[in-house]
Structure 1
């Protein structure tokens, strides 16, 4: 018990935890509103604060809890024909991507995460989307790319978001598809860090503080989805992505 307190106290008193709390609240509201936002905000921010090997496992564990929280209400609206192949391919590719997380230089990986999020935010702001069909081979290819990113950086969302948001479906279907996709790979994504020894006591201490923040923020975002027009939400969300990516890239 004494050893646990000696490890936890410096973590709880660290100013970086306060920054992580603010970022987590914003990410939770975005996730509840749009169905995505957890990883693309928290992966660069946590990597900047603690380094990728310490920050990404916290985010992956939180992603698992959030996915379980949102999934039941989204299942009925999701397009399983598209989402299940995407999720299956991503789950198979995630362990290979995790090898990069376990072996790559931490500073280089942090800058890659920041640059990737920055580019993703700019693409969303530009309005670019994939506008072709969604055949099974392409679903599998996009899912594989997402899985590699998930394992290496904690972010599976960017290629899938750009791919799924291309359709003409209503916002409710888009949101449900994203929630279901993230849920299908949430469990798989925590296995490699667990085996690799990255989920240690400091990670669990940070998770214990940040998880309640996320749990409270997601329902707020879900309620805002019913009352806040997308034209007001979208500029805010894009601005957050640009700031998060820029901090990790240049910080």
Structure 2
């Protein structure tokens, strides 16, 4: 049995792949509906299943391809004055965050990811948002923090989501802003893991299984956005975040 066959057997015969498929389907529906959800659900779950250094690169590659899928429809409605500085600062800071992924103990990083998602979910449930103005300097600060988190944990969303959702824009504009932001840093985020050798054969095999699941789930979420009221979606989304964060933190 050659190395590719051995790797395929190891990946496909592992029960953790089925758990990842279920989590990916839920994350895809959330991403299609709200414009976010891929990383904050999958980063803690993939890290719990395979460890951060194996799980985060798979999630980053998936995030890149999903962003390409959603971006065209969001370009017309996004607020580029806010999103481009956020995305530019995040893109610059992402490689610095990736250094943490390579150097920090995997178990400690997994628990940090879980705890971070748990706190983020609780903040969303509480209704807290940033309610100040959005000057260029603050856009850059929030984007830098998001980039550091993206490189180290795969999650750039939490600070940006809390920041962008504070505005008075309608849900469609919020969704477009988030989609455009994630797309601006998606390419940068995969470069360091690829150069560092984290995108190996097992990672590509997992991606080959999980990406079609995500590709099918995202359009379902996008359709649900047109028919499901926010008051019904939010409790489900918050519960998913709390479960994902708790599993990674205490698992």
Q: Structure 1 length as normaliser, TM-score?
A: 0.99
Match for residue 47 of structure 1?
47
Match for residue 72 of structure 1?
72
Match for residue 212 of structure 2?
212
Q: 5+ residue gaps in structure 2?
A: none
Match for residue 139 of structure 1?
139
Match for residue 230 of structure 2?
230
Aligned-partner Cα distance in 2 for 1:63–1:162:
19
Q: What's the RMSD between the two structures over aligned residues?
A: 0.7
Match for residue 57 of structure 2?
57
Aligned-partner Cα distance in 1 for 2:79–2:111:
35
Q: CA deviation at 1:195?
A: 1.0
Aligned-partner Cα distance in 2 for 1:13–1:171:
42
Match for residue 86 of structure 2?
86
Match for residue 3 of structure 1?
3
Look up the SS of the partner of 2:167 in the other structure. Answer: coil
Q: CA deviation at 1:6?
A: 1.4
Match for residue 100 of structure 1?
100
Q: CA deviation at 1:207?
A: 0.2
Q: Structure 2 length as normaliser, TM-score?
A: 0.99
Q: CA deviation at 1:237?
A: 0.1
| Equivalent residue runs for 1:191-210 within 5 Å | 191-210=191-210
| Equivalent residue runs for 1:139-178 within 5 Å | 139-178=139-178
Aligned-partner Cα distance in 2 for 1:4–1:100:
30
Look up the SS of the partner of 1:65 in the other structure. Answer: helix
Deviations 1:143-187 (A, max 9, x none): 000000000000000000000000000000000000000000000
Q: CA deviation at 1:3?
A: 2.3
